[in-house]
Amino acid sequence: MNKDTAYTPRPTFKKTLRRINIISVIVTMTLIWLLLCFASVVTLKQYAQKNLELTGASMSHTLEAALVFNDPQAANETLATLGKQGQFAMANVFDIHEKQFASWVWNPEDSSDTLGALVSHWLFPVPISQPIMHNGQPVGEIRLAARDTLIGHFIWMSFAVLTGCILFASVIALTITRSLHHGMVEEIQNITDVVHDARKNRNFSRRVKEGRIEEFHRFGEDFNSLLDEMEEWQLRLQEKNAQLMRTAMHDSLTGLANRAAFSNNIAALMNDSVAKTHSALLFLDGDNFKQINDTWGHAAGDSVLIEVASRMIAFGGIRHQSYRLGGDEFAMVVSGVHSELDVQHICAALKQQFSRPFDLHNGHNTPMSLSIGFALAWENNSLETLLERADHNMYQAKNQRTKTIG
């Protein structure tokens, strides 16, 4: 992956699933709303047509007498009375000769219901006609046009109720789907958290929880098995690294920390202003080790070096750290000292540890002394001067011993 590429934020699975649910519910409910509206309008058309026809049949009986007795005033009054009740928008009565006998028209300025007018025009493109009968013979005809005010009001109420029901059903549907998807989202979140933790923090001890969905459950089991293997590999790698670190930082013959460990620890000591105030460095060098090697062989020399290390460890314990720098050269970092006299006492006690002969493990014993030189950490500003002073003092002690023996 190109790290230079700008990061593009991506939606989470939860948000994506929620968006899909919302879109699905909106599309589905919109289609349902349109279908119900269409079915409602078609049903309304059939109902309104029948109702207008029943109104016309009823009015034909009412207007029968006015036509028979040729009373247009009574017919107009009847039409006006029924028209004001909202039964129709326009009524025309014709006699048997197709001449207008009476009429009433609703004033459209009394209403601004445009939707009702449009729906009325679609439902009733032409007025209905109903014959007026007397003794089984037609005496006239009435023509009616539907009143759009009542129709529009009914449609508005129907659409409002239908829309409210659809919205309520949508909320219920979204709530139910969100509840049903919660478990799936939770399982995916659990898996992604474990995967992210393993990749980011190298935490292979965490496991995916048991899932309720079969596919997620199988995936979790397989991934947990993979984590088991990775954790085992990690432990083996850590063990190998620890072993390599020990090998790199310890002398293979004596088991003491080696020169590499000494360099790291003495540098850390000089950088620690607190520990530096009560620490000192001791350099130890064998005085007659070459003679032992030449006389008794390298195996005997190795036995002596192992015994020197053992005595240094016994003397230093956990307070003072011992090192083998190479050959018969050793070092010890002592702590808890506050004066040169304290260090001199430690050096004298340490020399006593080497006063006893060394067992060569070949039936012979041999003496070997060590020259010790020291330097006080708090008297040296740098690591180099500390090492130089300790080394200088050690060689001074070795030369002094040589002069004394000579």
Determine the pLDDT at residue 405.
61
**Contact status, residue 369 vs residue 358, Cβ threshold 8 Å:** no
Summarised one tens digit per residue, pLDDT across range 80-116 is: 888 887 777 788 899 888 888 888 887 765 555 565 5
Beta bridge partners of 381: none
User: Would the pLDDT of 335 be above 90?
Assistant: yes
**Contact status, residue 177 vs residue 149, Cβ threshold 8 Å:** no
Domain borders along the chain are 13-170, 202-247, 259-405
Q: Please tell me which residue, 67 or 206, carries the higher pLDDT value.
A: 67
Determine the pLDDT at residue 179.
80
**Contact status, residue 101 vs residue 124, Cβ threshold 8 Å:** no
Q: Which of 113, 148, 285, 328 is labelled catalytic?
A: 328
**Contact status, residue 13 vs residue 185, Cβ threshold 8 Å:** yes
Q: Please tell me which residue, 124 or 245, carries the higher pLDDT value.
A: 245
The backbone region for 135, taken as left when phi is positive above 0, alpha when psi lies in -120 to 50, beta otherwise, is left
Q: Identify the top-confidence range among 192-201, 242-251, 290-299.
A: 290-299
Residue-wise DSSP of 175-197: HHHHHHHHHHHHHHHHHHHHHHH
Half-sphere exposure in the Cβ direction for 51 (13 Å, CA): 16
User: Who contacts 194 (Cβ-Cβ below 8 Å, separation ≥6)?
Assistant: 206, 207, 208, 223, 227
> What is the Cα–Cα distance from 306 to 309, expressed in whole angstroms?
5
Beta bridge partners of 330: 284, 324
Return mean pLDDT, the chain: 84
CATH no. for 259-405: 3.30.70.270
Summarised one tens digit per residue, pLDDT across range 2-53 is: 554 555 677 777 787 788 888 888 898 889 888 988 888 788 777 877 888 8
Percent of the chain at pLDDT above 70?
91
Determine the pLDDT at residue 310.
93
The two three-digit tokens of residue 346, written as one number:
């430690």
Q: Please tell me which residue, 109 or 311, carries the higher pLDDT value.
A: 311
Determine the pLDDT at residue 346.
93
Mean pLDDT (whole number) for 317-325? 91
Nearest to 193 by CA among 13, 401, 357: 13
The two three-digit tokens of residue 169, written as one number:
């059903």
Lowest pLDDT segment from 53-57, 98-102, 117-121, 376-380:
117-121
Q: Please tell me which residue, 402 or 239, carries the higher pLDDT value.
A: 239
Determine the pLDDT at residue 119.
61
- Model pTM greater than 0.75? no
Does the annotation count 328 as an active-site position? yes
CATH no. for 13-170: 3.30.450
> What is the Cα–Cα distance from 312 to 326, expressed in whole angstroms?
15
Lowest pLDDT segment from 23-37, 39-53, 375-389, 390-404:
39-53
User: Is residue 1 very low, low, confident or very high in pLDDT (cuts 50, 70, 90)?
Assistant: very low
Beta bridge partners of 138: 133
Summarised one tens digit per residue, pLDDT across range 118-147 is: 666 666 656 788 898 888 888 899 988 877
> Cβ-count burial of 107 within 10 angstroms (0-12 exposed, 13-18 middle, 19+ buried)?
exposed
User: Would the pLDDT of 404 be above 70?
Assistant: no
Neighbours of 372 (CB within 10 A): 24
Total residues found in the chain within this entry? 406
User: Is residue 285 very low, low, confident or very high in pLDDT (cuts 50, 70, 90)?
Assistant: very high
